[in-house]
């Protein structure tokens, strides 16, 4: 999110879910991060595997879910537990299983 220490980082994180181009000095906007993770998912689809595991940190995972469902945001990030597992069906368009953590696909 940024290159240095920020005391009110959660407030900035919340802003970054509403304003996708918001970016602190030395950081990355949510829009840029979403493009980056979506490109990884697009690349994964070129492989013949039927099931793929993708591991990432919570903010990037929430942004990936937001790319599938624009209503996902800061509140969903706040409700993350550690670890969370989401099952995403890569249909056209991709769909997350209600975008709620699951224990098995």
Distance CA 74, CA 42 (A): 24
Nearest in space to 19 (alpha carbons), one of 34, 3, 37, 41: 34
Are 67 and 38 a contacting pair, CB within 8 Å?
yes
State pLDDT tens for residues 43-84. Answer: 988 888 888 888 999 999 999 999 988 999 999 999 998 888
Phi, psi (deg, nearest 5) at residue 4: -125, -175
**Residue 24: which residues within 8 A CB-CB, separation 6 or more?**
1, 2, 3, 6, 12
Whole-model pTM: value is 0.82
Cα distances (Å, whole numbers) of residue 37 to 4, 43, 103: 23, 10, 23
Provide the pLDDT confidence category of residue 34 given band limits of 50, 70 and 90: very high
């Amino acid at each position: 999110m940024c290159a240095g220490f920020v005391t009110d980082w959660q407030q900035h994180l919340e802003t970054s879910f509403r304003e996708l181009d918001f970016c602190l000095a030395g950081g990355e906007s949510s829009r840029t991060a979403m493009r980056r993770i979506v490109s990884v998912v697009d690349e994964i689809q070129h492989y013949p595997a039927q099931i793929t595991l993708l591991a990432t940190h919570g903010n990037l995972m929430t942004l990936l879910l937001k790319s599938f469902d624009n209503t996902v945001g800061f509140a969903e990030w706040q409700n993350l537990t550690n670890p969370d597992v989401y099952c995403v069906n890569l249909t056209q368009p991709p769909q997350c299983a209600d975008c709620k953590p699951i224990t098995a696909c």
